Structure 1
């Protein structure tokens, strides 16, 4: 099993426009906190799936040497000193209207972040020292890392309720971008944005295919579903590139999860795993650790920077 390599000397350096400089020649960022927005792939606390073990977001926190952030479930009692996890199982980018859908779409999660920031600002402004130890310092919000791992459920729901997924993708991407813009307006500057997985390779894909094209590739993945995941990812990457212009102080890193997750799902026996998921959807701990080793070093990122340097913007411009 691969072991994560730790960064030994984290130094303070934030949001430097380095142009075409090799970012690894700069000191790593000193992120005081992580704020995560997502679905069950990164949901912790009581929302965590009992068989999941440690999640990708937790291996990322290990790599950054940040304590695991608590789930945002009780604003008045939970310790958010090192950030907060707003992810919720079943969450999507766009609000869902069908019965039993999860109401905590990314817009709601961003509103929850706003609540946390407002309380932190109020408490520190009033100098209630007995209450500040569990809340982030107001100045730390702009220095934190903002991770987003969401969108898979939007595509899945299109298959479940028989919507035209290709026609829905632009709306999903626009909602995603709107959430990033709100976070930026709230002071967020460093974004680590995951694309979506090859849904056609998941074990549960056969239950979604319905009347859609049933053609499979050599790995028995449904090609239509993977084409739609790729189209979603293409539009997401294009939107992130536009946001780099629209949000001049932001450092936005687009992270390709599709490629390593595809490798994980189609060659897991060669990687020494019996099964990469415990239910045909959600990854087991060893799969998450393998995935973390593939993404934290920047080999899957655009710009190609490790997560430890994600506060630096416009690398390779």
Structure 2
């Protein structure tokens, strides 16, 4: 698949991106006019819901008061990113209702891998013109990436061994790097790239692989090591891109470490039951692969609903795979300062090279 004709066809069709010739002084905060996000379910703000299924309560209950296209009780890291930069929440490019792309777009859709799907775009001109981004905003926008988790998990679900999945990582990272180069060649300059999360701590993984060796936090050791291997390769590739793309800022954002700190010391950070899903049903980890959050099933003739735990604000896992709003906020507050990043650039200075 030609990534420049799929992932970025939306941007190309709208206009030819102008190249930013000057960088603002490092002492000033970046004034990002827009965010373009690429990812999967961890940053999907309505793609899957618009294209295929509407999520059920209690999804969205903490912040939105109703399902809002997110696999979460509230806001995602991409939402906190937008809020921090004083921008509106991103519209999903798949959502054809009440769409506004003036301040960016969210290309994330649940289930996505590093190979992106083909996009649809809105008609040009007319009433849609005011909803489209300005040409000059493309070069000054922030480009965020939150993807790779599904590439690892899909391999495991296809019964590949951990070493077999590890063998596929170089190609994943190569494709990832190519995507960033394509965007750079179109004029993008500020890249904020999340690594993958500690999948060995997911209630889903702990349920599917109950015999896996556990680490000191109770997480499945080899699956976290798989995530760490991907992250190490990604970090190395992004560092190379930072040298190669001379006018760009490429920031590797270590969300893995930020979230893993919740598992190693949950009580200190105000959390409890770190390895138990808040919204689910059944088993030690409150997770059943056949029962989604909000779904009602029949057990021994009785209808049982996979509902929310009493207080999602003290829980880490929302549905066994995705995180609660509280965990997302905790992790965002850590990484946005730059202390977990390489280079150690804060979000609000991510338009500056170091």
Instruction: Identify if the C-alpha distance between structure 1 residues 50 and 190 changes in structure 2 by more than 3 Å, giving closer, same or farther.
Output: closer
Per-residue Cα deviation, 1:147-168 (whole angstroms, up to 9, x for no partner): 0000011111111112211101
Q: Does 1:49 align with 2:89?
A: no
CA shift, 1:28, in A, is 0.7
Distance in 2 of aligned mates of 1:50 and 1:258: 19
Which of residues 208, 228, 232 in structure 2 aligns to 1:230?
Answer: 228
CA RMSD of aligned residues (A): 2.4
CA shift, 1:15, in A, is 6.3
Q: Show the counterpart of 1:155.
A: 152
Greater RCO, CA 8 A, separation 6+: 1
Instruction: Identify if the C-alpha distance between structure 1 residues 223 and 139 changes in structure 2 by more than 3 Å, giving closer, same or farther.
Output: same
* Preserved contact between residue 202 and residue 265 of structure 1 (Cα < 8 Å): no
CA shift, 1:60, in A, is 1.1
Q: Does 1:142 align with 2:143?
A: no
Instruction: Identify if the C-alpha distance between structure 1 residues 15 and 45 changes in structure 2 by more than 3 Å, giving closer, same or farther.
Output: farther
* Preserved contact between residue 150 and residue 194 of structure 1 (Cα < 8 Å): yes
Structure 1 segment 69-148 matched on structure 2, within 5 A:
69-74=90-95, 78-94=99-115, 105=116, 108=117, 112=119, 123=125, 130-148=127-145
Distance in 1 of aligned mates of 2:260 and 2:22: 32
Mean CA deviation greater in 280-289 or 134-143: 280-289
Distance in 2 of aligned mates of 1:294 and 1:156: 25
Secondary structure at 2:42's aligned position in 1? coil
Distance in 2 of aligned mates of 1:194 and 1:220: 24
Which of residues 16, 27, 47 in structure 1 aligns to 2:23?
Answer: 16
Secondary structure at 1:41's aligned position in 2? helix
Instruction: Identify if the C-alpha distance between structure 1 residues 187 and 152 changes in structure 2 by more than 3 Å, giving closer, same or farther.
Output: same
Q: Show the counterpart of 2:174.
A: 174
Q: How many residues align?
A: 270
User: Structure 1 length normalisation: TM-score?
Assistant: 0.78
Distance in 1 of aligned mates of 2:191 and 2:81: 14
Gaps of 5+ in 2: 1-19, 50-68, 272-313
Instruction: Identify if the C-alpha distance between structure 1 residues 265 and 218 changes in structure 2 by more than 3 Å, giving closer, same or farther.
Output: closer
Secondary structure at 1:138's aligned position in 2? coil
Per-residue Cα deviation, 1:237-274 (whole angstroms, up to 9, x for no partner): 11011112332221111110111111123433332233
* Preserved contact between residue 41 and residue 71 of structure 2 (Cα < 8 Å): no
* Preserved contact between residue 193 and residue 251 of structure 2 (Cα < 8 Å): yes
Distance in 2 of aligned mates of 1:183 and 1:149: 15
Mean CA deviation greater in 290-299 or 26-35: 290-299
Distance in 1 of aligned mates of 2:228 and 2:204: 18
Q: Does 1:206 align with 2:206?
A: yes
Instruction: Identify if the C-alpha distance between structure 1 residues 64 and 160 changes in structure 2 by more than 3 Å, giving closer, same or farther.
Output: same
Distance in 2 of aligned mates of 1:58 and 1:88: 15
Q: Show the counterpart of 2:266.
A: 268
Q: Does 1:251 align with 2:236?
A: no
Q: Show the counterpart of 1:192.
A: 192
Q: Does 1:59 align with 2:60?
A: no
Mean CA deviation greater in 239-248 or 171-180: 239-248
User: Structure 2 length normalisation: TM-score?
Assistant: 0.71
Distance in 2 of aligned mates of 1:14 and 1:29: 15
